[in-house]
Every structure is written in structure tokens, then in C-alpha cells.
Amino acid sequence: MPTVNFSVPEDIKNAFNSTFEGQNKSAVIAELMREAVERAQSQQRSREAYLRIVSRRQSAPCITEAQLRTAREEGRP
């Protein structure tokens, strides 16, 4: 398995070591990295979805408030 080296502030290192004392710190770091990757990928998917929606809205047909109201009322039972 590859080794990764990071520089972190001393207070973070101490807090990490204290918080995860007695645990496999490599496994903890790997899980935190996995979560960070998943979070970043999810945010990227959200940004892309937002951009697709905005792009599609630019070419969507415009309707008046009256047309919208009529469509809502016609759709009601």
C-alpha cells in the first residue's frame, strides 16, 4: 500500500492523536480521505446538475402567469 505524507499544524496533529488514541490511525486517515473524496464528487455532481438546469431554463418556453394558473387548475381533480 502506498504511503502519503502531509504536513499539518501541530495542534491538529495533537488533537488527532488524542482523539484517535489506540486506533489504527492509517485506517482512520484512509476513511477520512474516502469521505472527503465522496463529498467532493457529490459537490461536483451537484454543480454539474445545477449548470444543466440553468442551461435548460434558457431554452425553456416562456409562459404567462395566467397560462400557468390555467394549467394548474386543469390538472386538479
pLDDT tens-place string over residues 5-24: 999 999 999 999 999 999 99
pLDDT band at 60 (very low <50, low <70, confident <90, very high): confident
- Domain assignments of the chain as residue spans, ordered by start: 10-75
Is the predicted pLDDT of residue 77 greater than 70, yes or no? no
Is the predicted pLDDT of residue 52 greater than 90, yes or no? yes
Is the predicted pLDDT of residue 61 greater than 90, yes or no? no
The answer to whether 28 and 20 are in contact (CB under 8 A) is yes
Query: pTM score, two decimals?
Result: 0.69
Q: What is the 3-state secondary structure (H, E, C) of 1-56?
A: CCCCCCCCCHHHHHHHHHHCCCCCHHHHHHHHHHHHHHHHHHHHHHHHHHHHHHHH
Return left, alpha or beta for 24; rule: phi > 0 is left, psi -120 to 50 is alpha, else beta: beta
